[in-house]
Amino acid sequence: MTKTESAYKKRADGRKFDELRPVIAKVGVVPSADGSAMYQSGKTRALAVVRGPRLLHPKHLENPEKGILRVTYQMMSFSVWDRIKPGNSRRGQEIGKVSEWALNEIVDLDAFPNSVVDVIIQIPQADAGTRVAGLNAAAMALAQAGVPMREMLSAVAVGKMDRTLVVDVDKEEEDFEDGEGATDIPIGITSRTKKIALLQLDGKISIPELRESISMAKKACEKINEVQMKALKEPGKEIKG
């Protein structure tokens, strides 16, 4: 089989294929919360607030064996050029759910039966990769809140632009249409056991390409984890990566 050349040869913003957008992380952005954090990648910014553990209402959701996580995700109306309709959306519910599954891989709520930890993720500015930015902020906010955690979580979206794999796609890249078009693969990796806590796939990809995407995500997540850990050591300070 002859390998056809990819139509995506250079990134629009000049980044290397494995290079993250400029990162800013800050812990402690909402003083009244039990934990809070901001994670920014390029023009995408996520805020996460943690409340709890506290007693759960409505009561029928209680689990007498352990505490539960409840994650909500919302893009703010002014986060993109076309105003987002406020309130619940199917997309928001899906992202809240997958974020909850991913964060459940790292928290340990065995000591908190009948309780809930609420994680509220808000996106004030979106330029693709908001669910992964939300997860990076949420993991920091949970750690600051002192919620028992087995390890940390970092996440990044790998993109396949025609046949080229790139790390941390922005919106312009996500809209690439030539050749095989753009495939978006948000991936979350736990810090110690390197488990895949999130993997979604929107598009077309071969198994070797998917393996390569995961290994690119693992390397990128190590860099993100370093920034998260620095931010956790210095609450209130903007840490750049």
Instruction: List the structure tokens of 15.
Output: 């980044």
Question: Is residue 84 within the footprint of ligand CDP (CB under 6 A)?
Answer: yes
Identity of the residue, 116 or 132, whose beta carbon is nearer to ligand CDP in the bound complex: 132
Amino acid residing at 128: A
Considering only the stretches 8-16, 107-115, 126-134, 135-143, report the one whose residues sit in contact with ligand CDP under the rule CB under 6 A. 126-134
Q: Name 190's bridge partners.
A: 153
C-alpha 183/C-alpha 222 separation (Å) is 23
Identity of the residue, 73 or 112, whose beta carbon is nearer to ligand CDP in the bound complex: 73
Q: Which of residues 140-169 bind ligand CDP (CB under 6 A)?
A: 157
Q: Which of residues 182-201 bind ligand CDP (CB under 6 A)?
A: 184, 186
Question: Is residue 80 within the footprint of ligand CDP (CB under 6 A)?
Answer: yes
| φ, ψ for residue 171, nearest 5 deg | -65, -40
Question: Is residue 122 within the footprint of ligand CDP (CB under 6 A)?
Answer: no
Question: Is residue 45 within the footprint of ligand CDP (CB under 6 A)?
Answer: no
User: Who contacts 169 (Cβ-Cβ below 8 Å, separation ≥6)?
Assistant: 128, 129, 157, 158, 159, 161, 182, 184
Question: Is residue 212 within the footprint of ligand CDP (CB under 6 A)?
Answer: no
C-alpha 109/C-alpha 66 separation (Å) is 6
Question: Is residue 127 within the footprint of ligand CDP (CB under 6 A)?
Answer: yes
Among 126, 161, 187, 221, binds ligand CDP (CB under 6 A): 126
C-alpha 153/C-alpha 133 separation (Å) is 11
| φ, ψ for residue 211, nearest 5 deg | -60, -45
Instruction: Give the footprint of ligand CDP on this chain (CB under 6 A).
Output: 80, 84, 91, 126-131, 157, 171, 174, 184, 186
